[in-house]
Amino acid sequence: MQMDIKEQLAKFDKIRINDLLLRCIIGVNDWERTNKQDVLINVTLHTDLSKPCQTDNLKDSVDYKQVKQEIIAMVESSSFNLIERLAGEIVKICLAHTAINAVMVRVDKPGALRFAKSVGVEIFRIK
């Protein structure tokens, strides 16, 4: 019998990277293609933390500093039309780490719509 997604997720612990504020070329308008804009990124990494809880050793866990550095390097050098694409690339970075079983990525573009604080997309993927 196959487990549903909620059952699968219940097996995993979470590491969160909250409110990572970066700048990149993002958007379809001419001015957006030449001026970097703010994007706000939130990432939830689903993994099993039972071993690092016992060993207190980073090699048994997810090095979230390394994940953050990879995200920063990609985002700050990127040039995408859509925040959907940017979020998708962040998902790829996260899932490339063997200890990460699933990821939720939210990318917000502050000020993208008049009268709205931001517009965002959220992508969830399981390996």
Tokens of 53: 């809880």
Query: Residue 110 corresponds to which amino acid?
Result: P
Cβ distance 106 to 87 under 8 Å?
A: yes
DSSP letter (8 states) at residue 114: T
Of 6, 59, 68, 109, the catalytic one is 109
109 is catalytic: yes
Look at residue 48 and give its three-state secondary structure: coil
Q: Which helix (H) or strand (E) is 106 found in, with range? A: strand 102-110
Give me the residue label for tokens 């549903």: 4
- What are the catalytic residues? 109
